[in-house]
Amino acid sequence: MKHVQTRARRAGAALAAVLTWAGLLAGASGCTSDPMDEVFGKPQSPEDIIRVWPGDDSKGVRPDEPLKVRVPSGRLESVKVVKSQDAQESRVPGHITDDGLTWKPDDPRLALAAKYTVDVVALDEHGRRSARHTTFTTAVPGERFIGYVTPENRSTVGTGMIVSLEFNREIENRAAVERAIQVTAKPAVEIRPHWFGNDRLDFRPRNYWKPGTKVTVGLRLRDVEAAPGVYGLQSKTFSFTVGRSQVSLVDAAEHTMQVRRDGDLLATVPITAGSPKRTTYNGKMVVMEMLEMTRMNSRTVGFGGEYNIPDVPHAMRLTNSGTFLHGNYWAPDAFGNTNVSHGCVGLRDVKGGSSDTPAGWFFDRSLIGDVIEVVHSKDKEVAPDNGLGGWNMRWEKWKAGGAVK
């Protein structure tokens, strides 16, 4: 009888073993539910141990949501995160914490309009390896902003050039935008930013650039939030080189312009400046644009129908408001004698322009970024934001105009 009971117990144990393995197999296959799961809990697959945020196949993820990988025990063996944006792929740098349990990106902010792919390999406390593959996409912003930059990439400019960005939208978070723009020089010099309103940011050193300086401008505006829901689009680097120094001093009372190259007097040129009714601004102005010929119409600068000249030669823009230094063929007796212009500085020229005239000679020897300083005019000083007039602002006041304190 004892022998029979023993065999019965063995048979029961064998049946229990069969049921247990059947339950495990059923749980592993995922096809059926086993009653034993209700007692012991459903077995967890190895990949479920690896936690990834944002979740797999998430869409419209905001840039400030955290990207993180974590395991509750064991350690992360490898984490590879790849960002796909604008048809280009790049590895997202990050690090595993000292305890081996967590991975975080070095830059906490996510890029917008991008797809992220996360591949993780982890070891549990028994040395067993598991892996997980997830993807998610970030939100596509409804509004973007860009900055229009002066000067042009790879240009050679005069020593008075100011790096100027004009934005196509109002910037509310000026500090964030300012931090995303880096202007450096070689040889090194202190360069500081100054905001003019909420849509323009200029950079300059304390004094004019040293000839031969190479200036590099890095725009890291991509995905920077300038205003609620408005994000930057640009991520690029450009540079320009500072050429020789040329600073010209216009004396409106003497009707002359002294042209100095690298500190030496190159020539004294007779000029005509603004008439008593239409005086020329005093102060330092920078050549912003050079046109071999252009039309000048008084209506575009608020002077009614006083003039409309279709072929002004050798025109060099000095302010946004319409001040030019240009060739003049219609007032041949004014140069060196009287001021007859509507606020511009005129040099003798001929119809159609010529390199043999004072205007042509000066135009051929000028660069965008050269400085023209006007003195002894019966007008106010040009505003710092009228063209590239920032040299008329004291250095301490200029520095105070930055948003990052």
What are the catalytic residues? 326, 344
H helix runs in 335-394, sequence order: 358-364
Tell me how far CA of residue 116 lies from CA of 60, 96, 101, 142, in angstroms.
Answer: 12, 18, 21, 20
Beta carbons within 10 angstroms of residue 140's beta carbon: 10
As to burial, measured by CB atoms within 10 angstroms (0-12 exposed, 13-18 middle, 19+ buried), residue 260 is middle
Alpha-carbon distances of 339 from 124, 274, 309, 369, rounded to whole Å: 87, 5, 18, 26
Specify the pairing of strand 235-242 against strand 214-220: antiparallel
d(CA 298, CA 320): 14
Contacts of 271 (CB under 8 A, 6+ apart): 250, 255, 256, 257, 335, 336, 345, 346, 347
Are the CB atoms for 135 and 117 separated by under 8 Å? yes
Give the three-class secondary structure for 351.
coil
Whether residue 202 contacts residue 192, with contact meaning beta carbons closer than 8 Å, is answered with: no
| Whether 325 contacts 334, CB under 8 Å | no
- Those residues whose C-beta lies under 8 Å from the C-beta of residue 343, and which sit 6 or more positions away, are 274, 278, 279, 280, 281, 322, 323
Rounded distance, CA 59 to CA 343, Å?
A: 58
